[in-house]
Amino acid sequence: MLRVILVLALSAASLLAEQPPLRSVKNWEVRGTPDSITWVELHDVDATDPSVIHVEVLSRKKRDPNSGPLHVRAHLAITLDALQRSVVRPLRDQRGVYPESFYFAHKHWQEETAVGKREVCTTTLYECVDTKAK
């Protein structure tokens, strides 16, 4: 049993070592529902706090590759550590979307931050997205 655990731990470590640096890839797959592909599109590192990055969370149905993406969260401020714990792998193909939804939501976040309501996800993407959905 210990041997199996050791092999799994080493396999996971080697997979993490093979991934490119987080900021070097614009789109990362994250865990989502079984019938969808869910990913984050990285936007800007926060100028006031370089440990925070602004992303949008998107999804589309696996069975319909031509379907448009669904904005799960138009904007999310998340620490780089929390994002690193959340990503599965970089996406091979480009999945860019029009950035207007992100810009509008990011502007709202900046306005809230200016009045002392700065919200930054520090756990994992899944916990922060689930909290907002409720």
Supply the pLDDT for residue 80. Answer: 93
Would you say 109 and 77 are in contact if contact means Cβ atoms under 8 Å apart? Answer: yes
**CATH number, domain at 28?**
3.90.70
Is there a domain that residue 70 lies in? yes
Q: Which domain holds residue 120?
A: 21-133
Is there a domain that residue 66 lies in? yes
Q: What's the structural domain count of the chain?
A: 1
Supply the pLDDT for residue 45. Answer: 81
Is there a domain that residue 3 lies in? no
95: its two tokens: 């999945």
Contacts of 37 (CB under 8 A, 6+ apart): 29, 59, 60, 62
Cα dist from 71 to 32, 59, 98, whole Å:
13, 7, 11
pLDDT tens per residue across span 8-33: 444 444 445 577 888 888 999 999 88
Which whole number is the average pLDDT over 105-134?
A: 86
φ, ψ at 110 (rounded to 5°)? -65, -40
Is there a domain that residue 98 lies in? yes
What pTM value is reported for the model? 0.79
